[in-house]
Amino acid sequence: MNYHMRRRLLWMLFLIGMGVPTVPANATTLARLSFDELAQRATGIVRARCLGSLSLWRNGEIWTETDFAVTAVNKGTAPGILRISLPGGKVGHVQSQVDGVPIFHEGEEAFLFLWEVPGHGTYVLGWAQGTFRIARDARSGEERITQDSAAMPVFDPETHQFRRSGTRNLPLAAFQTKLRRALEGLNP
C-alpha cells in the first residue's frame, strides 16, 4: 500500500471514528439488600402498571423517565401517575446501558420499592433489587412475583462475593404476607 492510499485510509478511519458517538460509563457495584432492608429504606412501596418510557439527555448523560399508574400503595404516599428516573436508555443512535438498572415496558406491572430525593425525583431503590415484576400464570391466572435481581449477580458485603438470590416466582399472596411482615417489623 503506498503512502497516499495509507494516508487516505487513516483519514477515513479517523472521520468514521469522529462520527461514532460514545457515552462515558462508570462502573457500578450494588451491595445486596435483604427484603427487610429494602422495606425499611424505601420511602414508598407501590404496585404500579407501566404507561411508557422516554429517554433524554440530562447533564451529559442519558436518563430514562418511566411513567406508572399506581394501583396500590403499601408504604408512604404516591400520586396516581408516578414518574421514575433511571440512568441509561437510548436517544437517537446513542445507547447507554447501566447494569442493574431495570427496563420497563408499557403494560407490565411491578411492585416498586421507591426512594424519593426531594427536589431531584423518584428512583427505584437498589434498581433491580427494588423491582418485583408481576406475571400472571397462563393456566391458573395466579399472579406470581419475581425480583429483577434474582437473575443477576449482586455483591454480598458479608461474604465479599457476587451471588444470585432474591424472590423468584412467589405467589402474590405469599409476597404480600412477606411485605406486610417486613413493614410491621418497622413499627414494633
What is d(CA 16, CA 72) in angstroms, rounded to the nearest whole number? 50
In the numeric block, the cell 404516599 is attached to 77
Interior angle at CA 172, CA 37 and CA 53, nearest 5: 75
As assigned by CATH, the class of the 29-184 domain is mainly beta
CA distance 68 to 83: 6
Question: Can you name the residues that pair with 161 across neighbouring β-strands?
Answer: 156
pLDDT at 35: 94
Would you state the pLDDT for residue 16? 37
Q: For residues 64 and 90, give the distance between their C-alpha atoms in angstroms, rounded to a whole number.
A: 8
What pLDDT, on the 0 to 100 scale, is given for residue 156?
74
Domain boundaries of the chain, sorted by first residue: 29-184
Q: What is the pLDDT at residue 30?
A: 59
Question: What pLDDT, in 10s, does the model give residues 49-90?
Answer: 999 999 999 999 999 999 999 999 999 999 999 999 999 999
Which CA distances in Å does 73 have to 6, 76, 114, 137, 163? Answer: 65, 7, 11, 24, 30
Q: Taking residues 109-114, what's their average pLDDT?
A: 98
* Average pLDDT of the residues in 19-41: 65
Q: Which residue has the higher pLDDT, 131 or 6?
A: 131
Give the predicted TM-score (pTM) of the model.
0.78
Question: Distance between CA atoms of 162 and 184, rounded to whole angstroms?
Answer: 30
pLDDT in tens, 112-149: 999 998 888 899 999 999 999 999 988 999 999 999 98
Average pLDDT over the chain, rounded to whole?
84
What per-residue confidence (pLDDT) applies to 32? 76
Residue 163 has a pLDDT of 74
